[in-house]
Chain A
């Protein structure tokens, strides 16, 4: 298919000082085969409209800043090529990530998400006070492999923008936070699953998930948060059954 020379971007605009709700504004940008949507946004901001507001930083898909809805799909705009959309007459619709409050234009509010990350205690919990001189905790490549995939999350929140459970009920802890908890639960060096279970095995935690699976589909780093959640559901059920056998207060 012949690539067009220019393409129209329809961008959601919202300024709380002037608007009560977002509206769309169209811009025409040149199409270069190496350009990504982020390059187009920068072109507009630099030359046409300096008020266009969005987050970005690394432009190589590792910092997680530039997530937006592109034609209704959550994407990292630094990794979404204009050429894939640029047939004659086509448009690209750019909106802020779905299901989050919008501060301005394409910038969403992330404080709630950061709070959820903290809530699941995403740090290594290990009672040992062994001094550093004793060296590293040993961990074989096979043990590393068990949690490595879940450690790849860049906190871009595309998964939240894909999750209808979070959309309908923002109290849901959500895919990235639950996958991060599982990353620590599965780390052979961690002994903190007992401290996390109350937040995870909760109606707002894993039991809120109905395995729609969209989070895994849109994840740019193939973290598979849906898999992490379902795996923990099995673990949580076993722990619940075990709690009938072991006396109260026993370490899980």
Chain B
């Protein structure tokens, strides 16, 4: 099996001074590996969290302006673009929450009686709190 060499333009080698090869890092480094892509999507999810906050602020502003403005806001919410954005946003916000909860045990080692608690036990209270708060909000909204 032979070696296939690239075109060598000009090899600069001074005796006893070898040139180290410095591999370039592509601007698309984040597409080269599944874990890198997941990381970038995780970071991107913060944008959607911010968007939801902005939407909530709009909602409060419309509430303040009065029933007409609020009705307009509700109309806007039902437009197909906003629905699509909300669904995508919901996915990202859920993804954001799950990744955040799963990362907290790394940052906060909890010890009970000298032994470290396994990660899922440290993350569990966050999930429980999430479920409880969601249940309360759902009950308030749907009753």
> Which chain A residues have a beta carbon within 8 Å of chain B's beta carbons?
13-14, 16-28, 72, 98-99, 101-104, 109, 141-142, 145-146, 164, 167-168, 210-214, 216-217, 224, 226-227, 230-231, 233-234
> Apart from A19-B6, A231-B106, what are 6 other A-B pairs with CB-CB below 8 Å?
A23-B3, A25-B3, A102-B22, A145-B116, A213-B106, A230-B103
Contact A164 B30 (CB under 8 A): yes
Contact B3 A164 (CB under 8 A): no
Chief secondary structure at chain B's binding surface: loop
Contact A234 B20 (CB under 8 A): no
Q: What total of chain B residues lie within 8 Å of the partner, measured CB to CB? A: 35
Name which residue of chain B comes closest to A109, CB basis: B20
Contact B21 A102 (CB under 8 A): yes
Q: Please encode chain B, from 1 to 38, with 1 for each CB lying within 8 Å of some chain A CB and 0 for all others.
A: 11111101111010000111111010001101101100
Measured between beta carbons, the chain B residues less than 8 angstroms from A24 are 4
Contact B36 A164 (CB under 8 A): yes
Contact B39 A16 (CB under 8 A): no
**In the assembled complex, B118 has its CB within 8 A of some CB on chain A:** no
Closest Cβ of chain B: how far from A169's Cβ, in Å?
Answer: 9
Name which residue of chain A comes closest to B103, CB basis: A211
Q: Once bound together, how far apart are the Cα atoms of A231 and B5, in whole Å? A: 47
Chief secondary structure at chain A's binding surface: mixed
Contact A213 B103 (CB under 8 A): yes
Contact B11 A23 (CB under 8 A): no
Name which residue of chain B comes closest to A72, CB basis: B33
Known: A24-B4, A214-B35, A231-B109. A16 touches B13 (CB 8 A): yes
Measured between beta carbons, the chain B residues less than 8 angstroms from A13 are 3
**In the assembled complex, B107 has its CB within 8 A of some CB on chain A:** yes
Contact A23 B30 (CB under 8 A): no
Find B108's partner among A14, A16, A224, A234 (CB 8 Å cutoff): A234
